[in-house]
Amino acid sequence: MNQIKKLAGQTVVYGLSSIGGRFLNYLLVPILTRVFTQTEFGINVEFYAYISFFNIILTHGMETSFFRFAQKDNSMSVFANALISVVGATLGFLIIFLFAGNFISNAIGFGSHPEYLWYSVFILAFDALSAIPFALLRQQNKGLRFALIKNANILINVALTLYFLVLCPFWQRQYHTLLPFFYGHIEISYVFAANLFASIVTSCLLYKELLFIKLGFDKTLWRKMFAYALPMLFVGFAGMINETLDRVLLRYLWPDKAQAIAMNGIYGANYKLSILITLFIQAFKYAAEPFFFSHAKISDKREIYADVMNYFVLICLFIFLLVMLFINFFKDFIGPSFQEGLHVVPILLMANIFLGIYYNISIWYKLSDQTNKGAVISLIGAIITIVLNVILIPKMGYTGCAYATLICYFMMMIIGYMWGQKVYPIPYKTIKLALYGILAMFIFTLNILIKKYVEPNSVADILIHIVLLLIFAGVGIFAERKSIKLFIKQ
């Protein structure tokens, strides 16, 4: 139980930095979805999908490889090799785009705005440069420094975005003059520019960690690390296919290309409403990966992984109900013209819960050094994603994207669990977890039936939602009361 308490503490540290900072970033969504049209916001969504894809290639699994080998070898030597590997990949990436950037910009249909691509390329480069130093901070349990730098990045990004999209237009209207770096009209380019500057500052703040690159390159160690990381590259890339390919395919598979970009904007905006679960999963991942590796080094008691899963699922389902019971409040975070896509929010929330469970389950192939198995599962997921999107997008648009995501993550969760129990058995309490899910779905369905007879946003409506949420929380606390008591005592 002490180990779970430690994990909870680390999750809170990373969670506060992630949730606090990302929530500030999230607060930009009401502005972006009111300042920009559906089409303009759709361009933003599509390019950040490209950024997510290429970020996986540039880091090529070296973060996870670093955590694994830091437990076996000299951690700073492992860090230097991981950093050199990522820097080398980034330099190669930059050289390719310096020669072929304009061709690529034309090929993806944005030849009239090549600056979108160039901003994205340099955002990628600086983010990749920061990835391994951030992994070192996690490995060393330096949660505070990690949080400060992460939040500095987000604060700079938010501040500059507000400067360009709010202050500069206001100043122009009020005083008929232009502030520095503002050219008289709002463009989506300013969002990319703010992000790029924040990424550059982040790399500068990590200079102490970056200096360890001078420790040198060990070819033998790097080969071992790369062999371990290579399947993780496929895992990560397949994961990005599952997570973001729909936003790329939508423009190519929907008959009306202009409408498809607008649909991308609607879909991307509503995807933001699953942010609470996404943030919790991200915070959990930051804390869990180093925790699981360090725990495996000192003990083979696998019950702890099952206990962690119980708490994880309960919290995720609680967040699902929180968002869906109070959707009338959460929906105002996106502009009115984007709210036509609210029907995909519960689908995406459940999809992210399945993904989070899969992340928990996937520890078996990392601890047993069988990352190739993870690559196979991710490849299966990627195939499911591609096939379903090709089938569903022409018929259902972005709603098909949401269902494809849900089915993909569900199948990955099932395959990961069944395969893992054969290779690295962990005593998950599957019946209890299933009952938690059934209870959450029952409450969600009950709320849909009740709201037909209650005025939206009335006192009665709010009280009913609070009671339903407390019922779920009460059942969860009662079911886990023994382990919670042990947790509190220790």
Nearest-CA neighbor of 322 among 351, 345, 355? 345
Q: Report pLDDT digits (tens) over 381-425.
A: 999 999 999 999 999 999 999 999 999 999 999 999 999 899 888
Hey, which of 148-157, 232-241, 396-405, 480-489 has the most confident mean pLDDT?
396-405
Q: Tell me the residue type at 190.
A: Y
Please report the pLDDT score of residue 198 as a whole number: 95
For residues 53 and 240, the answer to whether their CB atoms sit within 8 Å is yes
pLDDT at residue 193 greater than cutoff 60 = yes
Q: List the domain boundaries for the chain.
A: 2-428
Distance (Å, whole) CA 83 – CA 363? 24
Please report the pLDDT score of residue 291 as a whole number: 63
Q: Which is higher by pLDDT, 466 or 186?
A: 466
Please report the pLDDT score of residue 184 as a whole number: 79
Please report the pLDDT score of residue 471 as a whole number: 94
pLDDT at residue 484 greater than cutoff 60 = yes
Distance (Å, whole) CA 327 – CA 340? 13
For the chain, the 3-state helix, strand and coil shares in percent, each to the nearest 5, are 85, 0, 15
Give the 3-state secondary structure of 145-182.
HHHHHHHHHHHHHHHHHHHHHHHHHHHHHHHCCCCCCC
Quick one: average pLDDT of 287-312? Answer: 69
Quick one: average pLDDT of 121-137? Answer: 92
